[in-house]
């Protein structure tokens, strides 16, 4: 089980360095009141030097977290599972700002200004304009390009940029991008044209990841590889740039408001129509913000995934939750770790944390010999597919 107790390790740096920076960024981005600053001071002290405390007496989810955190309260944040500690940090950050409390700050996204700046930026303009090159191309040319766009879009993650200093600005087809495993042929085999598939896509980040995800969704629907698509997003802001329903709306608007003659706007209009026709549905189950691996998912969610032709999970956090946030031997078969999933499942992820499975022995040896921080730097990616039906 990965914890943050090893000074200098990746999870340690997230808790000790990244979280304090994030708190400061939120202070700088909002005109906070004294009580909010005080709550952030308390969170900063608790999460870096103190012990894990319960939620406030009137928190709506106090009981839930009391159960989820049994055995962790009173301990250092660095000594409990990394996945749990990060998740609780985001819960407490939202609480400190009044996100869940009836009043003027209820529902305010503390990461909204960062997401909005990214979405309005010229990189998005360029990425939307680049779609014009694909317009009119046959589906078998579009498919791999759009899958790569969605995959590498995962590099554009605002949390990741806190300590990479913006070094990972480029996305699709990036110059130093490398695939450590590519099982995309298995994914396409599950989705033949006209096969009436139902695809579930578990989204990760908003903005420059969600837009290429939506473009991929449009491709699946338009090329009739999928009859319908269910897009799963977070029920509330999480891990900085994780997508919520408002981010879906903003991204769809960004697409439809692209220059009218371009392909991006056409895609936006088709997606808009697909939601009206019930072919594209968005859901936001509470479990997507829970501090546990997907092996602990509730039955209601399990039933949804069981009904999918394939579920595609985006990003690093979803990968950690899918295979378990543990230091598996890297050659552990992916399908061994996903055997509990109720149907075919695929992971599209750039590597931004220590967890890895399903590597070929020779690929692993080459990666280890490279001396690069391949597990955490986001320069490498994977497409892994467990295509077995259950
Ligand atoms: O947006 P993604 O791809 O899920 O990545 C978020 C990642 O950020 C971290 O929280 C810190 O890097 C990772 O541990 C996590 O997996």
Per residue in 241-279, pLDDT tens? 999 999 999 999 999 999 988 999 999 999 999 999 999
Sheet hosting strand 310-314, strand order edge to edge: 178-182, 380-386, 345-350, 310-314, 197-202, 226-232, 280-283
Q: Can you give the pLDDT at residue 260?
A: 87
Return the residue whose CA atom lies nearest to atom 16 of ligand 1. 317
In 3D, which of 346, 359, 361, 352 has the Cα closest to residue 379?
352
Q: Show the domains of the chain with their CATH numbers.
A: 10-110 (no CATH), 123-386 (3.40.50.10880)
Q: What share of the chain is helix, strand, coil (3-state, %, to 5)?
A: 50, 10, 40
How far is it, in rounded angstroms, from Cα 220 to Cα 234? 22
pLDDT-derived band at 165, boundaries 50, 70, 90: very low
Q: What is the DSSP string of 181-223?
A: EE-HHHHHHHS-TT--EEEEEE--BSTTTHHHHHHHHHHHHHT
In this structure, the residues whose C-beta lies within 6 A of any atom of ligand 1 are 14, 86, 154, 157, 159-160, 204-205, 239, 315-317, 320, 352-353
How far is it, in rounded angstroms, from Cα 147 to Cα 150? 5
78 alpha carbon to ligand 1 midpoint, in Å? 17
Q: Give how far Cα 190 sits from Cα of 198, 220, 311, 353, Å.
A: 10, 12, 11, 28
Return the residue whose CA atom lies nearest to atom 13 of ligand 1. 353
160 alpha carbon to ligand 1 midpoint, in Å? 7
Cβ contact 178:379 at 8 Å: yes
Q: Model pTM?
A: 0.95
pLDDT-derived band at 156, boundaries 50, 70, 90: confident
ipTM metric = 0.96
Q: Residues 16, 18, 22, CA angle at the centre, nearest 5°?
A: 125
The ligand 1 atom nearest the CA atom of 318: 4
The ligand 1 atom nearest the CA atom of 86: 10
């Amino acid at each position: 089980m990965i914890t943050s107790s090893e000074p200098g390790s990746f999870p340690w740096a997230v808790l000790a360095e990244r979280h304090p920076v994030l708190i400061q960024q939120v202070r700088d981005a909002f005109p906070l009141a004294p009580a909010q600053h005080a709550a952030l001071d308390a969170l900063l002290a608790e999460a870096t030097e103190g012990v894990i405390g319960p939620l406030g007496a009137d928190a709506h989810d106090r009981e839930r977290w009391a159960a989820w955190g049994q055995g962790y309260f009173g301990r250092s944040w660095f000594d409990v599972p990394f996945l749990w500690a990060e998740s609780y940090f985001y819960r407490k950050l939202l609480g400190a700002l009044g996100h869940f409390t009836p009043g003027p700050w209820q529902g305010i996204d503390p990461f909204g200004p960062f997401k909005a700046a990214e979405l309005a930026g010229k990189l998005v303009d360029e990425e939307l304009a680049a779609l014009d090159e694909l317009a009119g191309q046959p589906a078998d040319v579009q498919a791999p390009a759009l899958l790569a766009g969605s995959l590498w879009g995962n590099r554009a993650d605002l949390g990741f940029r806190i300590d990479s200093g913006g070094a990972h600005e480029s996305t699709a087809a990036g110059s130093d991008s490398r695939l450590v495993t590519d099982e995309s042929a298995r994914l396409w085999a599950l989705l033949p044209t006209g096969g009436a598939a139902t695809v579930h896509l578990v989204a990760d980040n908003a903005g420059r990841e969600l837009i290429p995800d939506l473009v991929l969704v449009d491709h699946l629907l338009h090329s009739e590889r999928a009859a319908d698509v269910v897009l799963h997003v977070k029920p509330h802001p999480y891990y900085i740039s994780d997508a919520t329903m408002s981010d879906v709306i903003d991204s769809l608007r960004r697409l439809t408001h692209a220059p009218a003659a371009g392909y991006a706007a056409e895609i936006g209009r088709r997606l808009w129509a697909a939601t009206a026709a019930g072919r594209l549905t968005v859901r936001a189950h509470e479990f997507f913000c829970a501090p546990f691996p997907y092996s602990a998912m509730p039955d209601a969610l399990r039933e949804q995934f069981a009904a999918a032709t394939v579920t595609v999970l985006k990003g690093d956090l979803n990968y950690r939750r899918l295979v378990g946030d543990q230091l598996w031997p890297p050659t552990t078969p992916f399908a061994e770790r996903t055997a509990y999933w109720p149907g075919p499942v695929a992971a599209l992820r750039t590597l931004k944390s220590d967890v890895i499975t399903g590597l070929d022995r020779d690929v692993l040896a080459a990666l280890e010999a490279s001396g690069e921080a391949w597990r955490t730097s986001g320069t490498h990616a994977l497409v892994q597919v467990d295509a077995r039906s259950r």
